Structure 1
């Protein structure tokens, strides 16, 4: 019976590993097929992702309709979330859920009230730690939208930092081949995904609507606080004023960004060393000493030359 149980467990884990292998192959095959179909039919996969984001935003707006009723109260109770701060966060996060400042402020109060009633319900039901939940849940409900939007801002700016060097190299190569900057941007962004594409697609759209190039550049600066990205846009503005070749500007910026990234990796590696030392000193070393001491004590008490055998 024991052998049958062991064989069943082994067969189960073998099937799980086999399923994971085939599932991974399926995901890779699906990605290759979508890429091939997009290349043949000239269908942009980014547009499908954008439609999914729009559907999610519409669904979120329907769910949070009641938040509008608390917008005025939320703008008065604006701890750590004044209107200009919220507006800046929404702009720099790309506002994926299409929130307005008023709805965001109302959403805080709405979640605060809902969390308060959930805390009261937990007290009535008698859940463990319910006396703390009635205080902690409303505080969490108030701060969760703030924390999430700030996390989205940081995530988006980090994504821009990662994609920027490759984007600059590609644009520089296109411009050096004789393509105009506007045409190079339109062609290059088709091969990128995420915030880089969103920002420069909006930039091109503003240029098409008649916005001056300098003003479009200024809007890019307002929507992003990434130092590397801001350095690029300021260099483009300066190059436009002074007549510096654009291809050279992109090439220099790409090299500088890669150098900065290398320095950041070295800095992170240097910061990791003391953390590893702390873990080794306070966790691994004491556990190893305890294990060795425990084995010695067990050998002294239960071994062939046990102290107990002497009595």
Structure 2
């Protein structure tokens, strides 16, 4: 991080595929587990690019195979590695939110119907969940404790996450806060909708997988099976009881 800070200014100038606003968005949605600032991230790219350049140059000097190519590819890998990692982490985190939401909403809805307040229900239920869902609502509760307006805290949740189901839930809560819609009903309806969406998503993935399986069967399994059968027939023809070799020996 020391060297990343030193190269941060250069990194912000060399910002191909990594504009400051995009980097800020990726870090926010990925959870930013290493507490990187945008400037540190931009500097880290340059540090890894230079490390890749020296590694490629060393490979060329030593005479390793493809040494000339490593002088190009290693710096590129060093530059794009942080970008790919943080984007991948952001995507995984948003998918984890989608996976846990239905059970979370059902539990919250049951607690609300039992007469527990929303704040108390969130504090109690969130303890039984792990991952990004717990992180986000724990941060939400912390903001409420610090005096942040509820609508503003909801807006912050929307900014930190782009998962469609999660955004739909938060927008429904914002609307319910303004119009006075019962929150327990909102949670229950959202949970049912998310389960239905997940079921349709699984069916869609299964439908897409079927042609791929057929393609693999047609171009991989079937030819291999034919070759194995043909090979056994050929071996039997040469070395079997009625093989060609035995017929020639009899003559």
Q: If the length of structure 1 is used for normalisation, what is the TM-score?
A: 0.79
1:262 Cα deviation after fit: 0.5
Which gives a bigger RCO, structure 1 or 2 (Cα 8 Å, sep 6+)?
2
1:202-256 Cα offsets, whole Å, 9 max, x none, are 1111111111111110000000000000000000011111111000000000000
Match of residue 227, structure 2, among 290, 307, 310: 290
Tell me if 1:160 matches 2:62.
no
Tell me if 1:181 matches 2:101.
no
* 2:240 corresponding residue in structure 1: 303
Match of residue 150, structure 2, among 213, 233, 236: 213
Could you tell me how far apart the structure 2 residues matched to 1:296 and 1:184 are? Answer: 71
Moved more, 123-132 or 158-167: 123-132
What do you get for the CA RMSD once the two structures are aligned?
Answer: 0.8
1:177 Cα deviation after fit: 0.4
Match of residue 266, structure 1, among 164, 186, 203: 203
Tell me if 1:256 matches 2:193.
yes
1:92 Cα deviation after fit: 0.6
Match of residue 159, structure 2, among 199, 209, 222: 222
1:131 Cα deviation after fit: 1.4
Tell me if 1:142 matches 2:63.
no
Structure 1 unpaired stretches of 5+: 1-63
* 1:239 corresponding residue in structure 2: 176
What SS does the aligned partner of 2:18 have?
coil
Match of residue 56, structure 2, among 105, 112, 119: 119
* 1:131 corresponding residue in structure 2: 68
Moved more, 196-205 or 222-231: 196-205
Match of residue 108, structure 2, among 162, 171, 189: 171
Q: If the length of structure 2 is used for normalisation, what is the TM-score?
A: 0.97
Give the number of equivalent residue pairs. 248
* 1:99 corresponding residue in structure 2: 36
Could you tell me how far apart the structure 1 residues matched to 2:139 and 2:225 are? Answer: 58
Tell me if 1:77 matches 2:11.
no
Give structure 1 regions of 4+ aligned residues with deviation exceeding 4 angstroms. none
1:308 Cα deviation after fit: 3.0
Structure 2 unpaired stretches of 5+: none
